[in-house]
Amino acid sequence: MGNQPMIVLSEESQRTSGQDAQSMNITAGKAVAESVRTTLGPKGMDKMLVDSTGNVVVTNDGVTILGEMDIEHPAANMIVEVAETQEEEVGDGTTTSVVVAGELLSQAEDLLEQDIHATVLAQGYRQAAAEAKEILEDIAIDVGADDIDALESIASTAMTGKGAEASKDLLAELVVDSVNAVADDQGIDTDNIKIEKVVGGAVDESELVEGVLVGKERVHDNMPAIVEDADIALLDTPIEVKETEIDTEVNVTDPDQLEQFLEQEEKQLRGMVDKLVEAGADVVFCQKGIDDMAQHYLAQEGILAVRRGKKSDMKALSRATGGRLVSNIDDITADDLGFAGSVSQKPIAGDEKIFVEDVEEAKAVTLILRGGTEHVVDEIERAVEDSLGVVRTTLEEGKVLPGGGAPEIALGLGLRDFADSVGGREQLAVEAFADAVDVIPRTLAENAGLDPIDSLVDLRSKHADGDDSAGLDAYTGEVIDMEGEGVVEPLRVKTQAIESATEAAVMILRIDDVIAAGDLKGGSSDDDDGEDGGPGAGGMGGGMGGMGGGMGGMGGGMGGGMGGMM
């Protein structure tokens, strides 16, 4: 009895352990990194993503690519989370973080084959990451909030290599102006910057509205198209006769009764409009509907009204004008009204839109992005969102680093020196970390069609001579002073990328057993929401199907979409 094996897992369960599990997870992580590696840098390539319904996304934005891909492998999804975290925290550097994570796994794979234990690698990687942050802080450059040229350079760098590159100078100026417009003592909330995409026209026709652009038009042609010095009412309630909550039936026996019934409705609507007039409203933005008769009365009073506004627009209008969102028209007073110097209806690319401008203390602005096609405008939006993130991060932290692979070269040299002071086998992990960060300048060179070995040698030579700002110009192939050329990026973009990549790599390396079953309950009852982890375990089983082939699930969604195109 004592020698008989005990069966713990069901026959339906799948289990991979030891070196096989590590190898499988590392392969999956590397595959994710490889999928976005060619998009890195100013000469990075784009990816075309096609879903099962034939919708197409063309982009080189790392987090967008990974978000659109159908990735099932659980370890691969850990790398995707690196990009998502990077995007949420600092707004840029997603591709860098994923590529570094993949290279850390690749370097670790070589050491695992030399019988270096995964926990030793994890400890060494963490030591290297901590030292890397100190090295980066030592070479960081201070930037003040009033240094507009530097901020525009940072915004421009974030758009380099993306669809917006041809107009990056104009867009960078708009980005910096918009961030400064919403900045206050509480910080910078980029949610106060609304992006409105307009298909039609050139990218150079993009503009910043200090206020709010609402993608609607006035509800009645007899309403004024322009209102100066406007007092603005914001309503979260319809200007309509309220329907009863119970089923009712009205029997009309003669025309007089019908007329009385209609007159009563009109009286209610007239009363609502009178309330707005008494409060002093010149413009009304209503989140709900406006009755046709109420529209007529509003037009008679010379009030410009807009109905069915989006919730996000109403919030933006409240921030920009200082108005309060009112849920009951009977309660509205002059104190609830917002103010704008001008409210007007103007055409953009054939569509009428409402502009709310000349706001005294605008805490909300609108970036109008234009482009020839929907794909162009979408890619410009992604580039501008990245740029907004890095400018915000720079203003919050006040430190930047030179671009062009300069920080990574400095890290490589600094970490190799640091490795000499690390005892035990962790020294090998620190050296591997130093080699891993070199993947960024190496990839920049490869994507620019340059010899990566020659580029690395030139960069290291410059840095060894004390030039911490020496980076690779992907257009000329020369090693130049990146700070002098204005190619800089926020310090926190790099430190966050190092932190996220290290944590993801360490987490994957420490996994030596992967167990999956077709249908795990996780102790939850049938009618439980599964918050105790039931769905997580079940989802793991579903994702494990693609594990045998490393990234089997990764191309499934794209393959299906492409198949439909043929």
Which residues are tagged catalytic?
61, 94-95, 386
The answer to whether the CB of 337 falls within 8 A of the CB of 281 is: yes
Sign, CA dihedral 436-440-441-445, equals: positive
**What 3-state DSSP class applies to 333?**
coil
Angle, helix 491-509 to helix 118-139, in steps of 10 degrees: 180
Exposed, middle or buried, 60 (CB in 10 Å: 0-12/13-18/19+)? buried
Of 431, 439, 440, 428, nearest to 413 by C-alpha is: 431
Q: Which two tokens mark 563?
A: 């198949």
Q: Rounded to an integer, what distance in angstroms lies between the CA atom of residue 458 and that of residue 441?
A: 11
d(CA 405, CA 403): 6
Dmax over CA atoms of the chain, in Å, equals 101
In contact, 201 and 370? CB cutoff 8 Å: yes
Measured distance CA(295)–CA(307) in Å, rounded? 10
Question: What radius of gyration, in Å, describes the C-alpha atoms of the chain?
Answer: 30
DSSP codes joined into one string, 177-202: HHHHHH-BTTB--GGGEEEEEEESS-
Burial class (CB in 10 A: 0-12, 13-18, 19+), 7: exposed
Residues 6+ apart with CB under 8 A from 493: 86, 90, 92, 93, 96, 390, 393
